[in-house]
Amino acid sequence: MKYLLMFGWVGVLWGQPTFVDPHYTADLVYAGDGMTAIDFASTGQLLAIEKKGRVLIFQPNGSGGFFAPTVFADLTSQVNWSGEAGLLGLAVDPDFASTRHVFLFYSTDDDQRITRLTSNPGFTAMEPGSELVLLSGLPRTANFHKAGELRFHPLDPETLFCSTGDDGEGIGTSGGIPLVQHPDFYHGKILRISKDNGQGVSSNPFWDGDPTSIRSRVWAVGFRNPFRFTFYPGAPIPDLLYSSENGDSTDRCSWVLMGSNGAWSASGDSGGFLNPPDPNHHVMQTLPRSVLGIAIADSGPFAPGGPTLYWANWLSGIRRYHLTGANLDTLTAIPEDSGQVFTDDIVGTDLEFGPDGNLYAAWSNGDDSTGGFFTIRRIRFSGVDPPVAAFSTTPNPATGPAPLMVSFTDSSSAPGSNIASRLWDFGDGASSSATNPSHTYTEPGIYTARLTVTNDEGLVDSVSQTVTAYRTVTVTLGGTVFDARTLPASPLASANELR
């Protein structure tokens, strides 16, 4: 990932995101410091981790939303957040109501580690002193390619899956094998460990009889930076995940079976990374860098026409694809999207479907990711059609000498819903939320007046018209004007000047 590229997005996040399908809309859940991952507890809370080292918890408000967050745990004194390092992974125990366990992946000055926190009985904060280190010593030489995803497989609530990056040195070799492909090194791997003690499990593909060995914890090999991965949710497929991974100049979304080899090596993107020899690691789609969150919907409005995979990218929003093929190993374009991105206005460092069926997107940047403008957004589907914005002006057309007063009359409609709000942008820096406002343009110029309407489902439409205010001046010409035949010309008494 290249976090520093993201500063250009700051001006976008406060606006209303647009979607290729206007039946979708997005709500701002929270704006704060950069959040690398989110997860939902079985008890209804939303948890989020800040890259700099804090865990936030959002309590449900009883109306489908959340109250402002409180700090569940503060690990900032332990976390090194330089570059792409930091607090990177979060997984809430599927049996959180009973165990009260929260799992974290973070970078320190010396290593990366997986730890477990225990919540207090009220599910508001961690029990003091409850942090337990499950696995330490994960690669921490560089400040990039840290990966750090944590997830539970839907069929396996007792083991924890984790991703590790190559740490910038995984292309080195041992016995002629790249470290990322060697099961005796943690670089560039998917791990699967016991949630109780961090040890390997006997059903892992490289199990050697010693639960404390590296290879006994390894589930798949050959990755560069598998920043995020997910599982198929509806009828979960054993021993399969989908990874979102950063390559050198090209990134990939892969169908990954247990024990497979993703083929990252010193040869970079051209060395099998984009077409691994192992048929159990299948690259379904590639994109320019840098890809981020990944999530799958198997039914409902987020799965139009069948299972749908959502895939985020730093500089091009969120894409979606139909997940097809007998083994659900092929991504195909969704015809309704016409080759466009699902939305280009939302950054999804992490994507998660909530218990309400909506898609949530969290955003972070590099280093400490402070500033207060990073967001969690909730993407919703509305069954009604979006509103249709329309208005008329008096005078019509809206043209005349400055100062020019224009009366605006809203004629918008909202099939199956109601207009909840209006925003008039008069094009000269002034605005209004009135239904039928009037506005005076004091200076000559050509202005674009825009009306944006939002219905009570949160769907948006806008329309604009041109307003022209001109200045009238009198021009007096002296002397005599002759044409080629020496005939006198009529004097020009006055003219309109537009500037």
Q: Is residue 248 domain-resident?
A: yes
Q: Is residue 35 domain-resident?
A: yes
Neighbours of 277 (CB within 10 A): 8
Domain count, the chain: 2
Q: Is residue 492 domain-resident?
A: no
Q: Is residue 495 domain-resident?
A: no
CA distance 348 to 336: 22
**337 and 428 share one domain:** no
**317 and 370 share one domain:** yes
Neighbours of 303 (CB within 10 A): 17
- The three state secondary structure string of 68-115 is CCEEEEECCCCCCCCCCCCEEEEEECCCHHHHCEEEEEEECCCCEEEE
207 within 8 A of 220, measured Cβ to Cβ: no
pLDDT of residue 7: 32
**238 and 363 share one domain:** yes
CA distance 137 to 148: 13
Quick check: 264 pLDDT over 60? Answer: yes
**368 and 454 share one domain:** no
Q: Is residue 238 domain-resident?
A: yes
Domain membership of residue 438 as a residue range: 391-471
Q: 190: which 2 tokens?
A: 């998917």
Q: Is residue 456 domain-resident?
A: yes
* Higher-pLDDT residue of 234, 217: 217
- What DSSP letter does each residue of 217-278 carry, written as one string? GEEEB--S---EEE---SSPPTTEEEEEE--SSEEEEEEEETT-B----TTGGGTTTSS-S-
CA distance 328 to 312: 19
pLDDT of residue 316: 85
pLDDT of residue 114: 99
**352 and 215 share one domain:** yes
**67 and 101 share one domain:** yes
pLDDT for 282-323, tens place per residue? 999 999 989 999 999 999 999 999 999 999 998 889 999 999
Domain boundary among 362, 381, 400: 381
CATH number for the domain spanning 360: value is 2.120.10.30
**375 and 396 share one domain:** no
pLDDT of residue 498: 52
**370 and 404 share one domain:** no
CA distance 298 to 317: 21
Domain boundary among 381, 413, 432: 381
Q: Is residue 163 domain-resident?
A: yes
**445 and 334 share one domain:** no
**183 and 101 share one domain:** yes
Amino acid at 455: N
**263 and 407 share one domain:** no
pLDDT for 149-161, tens place per residue? 999 999 999 999 9
pLDDT for 111-158, tens place per residue? 999 999 999 999 999 999 999 999 999 999 999 999 999 999 999 999
Say how many CA atoms lie within 13 Å of 245 toward its Cβ: 34
CA distance 292 to 243: 10
pLDDT for 167-199, tens place per residue? 998 889 999 999 999 999 999 999 999 999 999
pLDDT for 362-378, tens place per residue? 999 999 999 999 999 99
CA distance 157 to 76: 29
Residue 80: C-alpha distances to residues 61, 77, 103, 140, 143 (Å): 33, 8, 18, 10, 9
Domain boundary among 332, 357, 381: 381
CATH number for the domain spanning 453: value is 2.60.40.10
**358 and 402 share one domain:** no
Q: Is residue 413 domain-resident?
A: yes
Pairing of strands 24-32, 374-381: antiparallel
pLDDT for 76-91, tens place per residue? 999 999 999 999 999 9
